[in-house]
Amino acid sequence: MVGDASPAPAERTSLGMRDASSPSEARTGGEASQDPAAPLGWLVPHEPSAPQRSREEDRFFGRYAAVCACATLLLFLGGLVAAPADERTGVVLISGFAGAVVALAAWFVWRGLSRGLFLVTGIVLMALGVVVGATLPDGLDGAAVLPLAGALLVLPVLRGRPLLAMFALAFAASIVGETAAYVVGGMTHLAGLVSAPLSLAESGVMLAFTYGLVWWVSNQWRLASARSGEALATQRQVLASQRQVLALNERLLATLDPQQVLDLIADTLKTVVPYDNLTIYRVDRDAGVFRPVLARDRFASLILENTFPLEHGITGWVVTHGAAQCVNDAQRDPRMALIPGTPAEEESLIIVPLMGDRTVVGTLNVGRMGGAASHFDASEFEIAQLFASQASIALQNAEAHHAVSTRAETDALTGLRNRGAFEEDIAALLADRNAQPLTLLMLDLDDFKAFNDQHGHPAGDALLGAVARAMSAAVRSGDRIYRYGGDEFAALLPGTAPELAVQVAERVRAAITTVDSIDGASVSASVGVASHPGDATTRDGLVGAADHALYRAKNLRGDGVAVANVAHAGWTRAGLAMGCPEAGKGTEVASRVTAELASK
């Protein structure tokens, strides 16, 4: 399964099996690991992980900021020496701010706290812009640029409204710094009392536009990054789901029973595409309909009892066009058709064709109840199609295997199960406590060889087929009939007491007498009855007991039922008399067999 944290695969070496991730074990046996690339390892650069690269880049920028601050400090110190005496106070203050920035940068770089470095440095630069405007002559540019630099500095660590608040603070610092430059720094005598407010307003408008543009661009970048991250997460989720589908398909392909495949489709699909209901339809082109073969729905009984024309509803459209459909708000689709007896409800549907030999052989329908919250998305539609294509293959394999298995267990002439199926079933039923008592009927046609010799093998084959149909009509639904070989048949009656089995045997014998032969000759059969555990406790013992009873019946003119155990004699006559009023000759044979057993 996806996400299974399995250990690293073992790799085979000349020393046996070892874990490839264990360097210590790689050196076992007294030999060093002979990696051809090892001597050149110093030439191969180490590729750091993404978090490592991010931390290294942050530290590099912190060092860069510290260097710039140191350069600024040196420049201010040079300016302090060259400045007139009345300006040195402002230069000292600015130099102090620059020194503080250098100290904070160095401390944060040493601690690796790059986020705090950006925030504190940005705020210090904003404050520095105000001080420059107030203390330096011609400090107007510094008052505008330094707060902007501080605002740009926090772009890597702030997003959304916090970034907008920081930009508003920087804008305020710029306006305050420029106002201080005009009022305190002596810029008014250059600009004049009238032009100074206008210049300040112009600067405010331009700064407002600049800050707004930078914030909008950064916010769009943030949103684009978020969308990109969501898209990447969706792709990873789809890939994980596809891997999960492929893993689930291994289970599907390993299942060879068609009904189990259908159940597995319903169970496994829900783990990758959640649904409220599921129906699988099979197409019957001879009848011109599609019919449900599996329904997981609160209206399952209503669904399973209906068949639909090939062009009926959205499912019919998919069958006709061979194209999958994802229909959210299916109740609004003009192709929508309700199943009789089910209510009209809000529902979203995915209907995918099941293909076989380039033909639509069925559909896989999944639905979710509700409005917009229940809609299927594109990734779920894609996964459902991938799953359905694999499920089609698994279902075809299972049905082909079932057909081959059925042919292998079915007698081609009569359509009954064959001797091999008999051997499998009798072993399973003898081991099943719920099948006890298990009664076996062995049946042989009377004078079948003479019929074959007189009328030929085709007529004999037709007679065997007619006898098989008569037997199938005479037994109960839980009874199993087999062609044992030649003109001999067998029947297994699970959970059937001997007295009831005799009634079934007599019903079978009587049904065979009604079969029409090619020339109107009578058809009859002899039946032997034996029960487990009363007559035998093993397979060979049970078959032998029934076989012996069969041949005793044949030796007494045939067309009768004989039981294996003489203890059954009392109820044999009574059972035949009460259960089978039509039993004439068969009752007499059973009586003769009983008398014969009693005499022995």
Residues taking part in catalysis: 487
- 27 CB neighbour count, 10 Å cutoff: 11
H/E stretch holding 44 reads none
CB 374 within 8 A of CB 348: yes
- For 320, residues 6+ apart whose C-beta sits below 8 A from its C-beta are 310, 311
The CB-side HSE value for 12 (13 A sphere, CA atoms) comes to 0
Q: Give the ranges where 341-411 is alpha helix by DSSP (H).
A: 378-409
Token pair for 417: 């199960």
- For 38, residues 6+ apart whose C-beta sits below 8 A from its C-beta are none
Task: Report the sign of the C-alpha dihedral through residues 265, 268, 272, 276, in that order.
Answer: positive
Query: In Å, what is the CA distance from 526 to each residue of 303, 346, 507?
Result: 47, 65, 12
CB 528 within 8 A of CB 552: yes
CB 534 within 8 A of CB 565: yes
Query: Which candidate, 230, 274, 234, 299, places its Cα nearest to that of 374?
Result: 274
**Buried b / exposed e across 36-70, counting CB within 10 Å, b at 16+?**
eeeeeeeeeeeeeeeeeeeeeebbebbeebbebbb
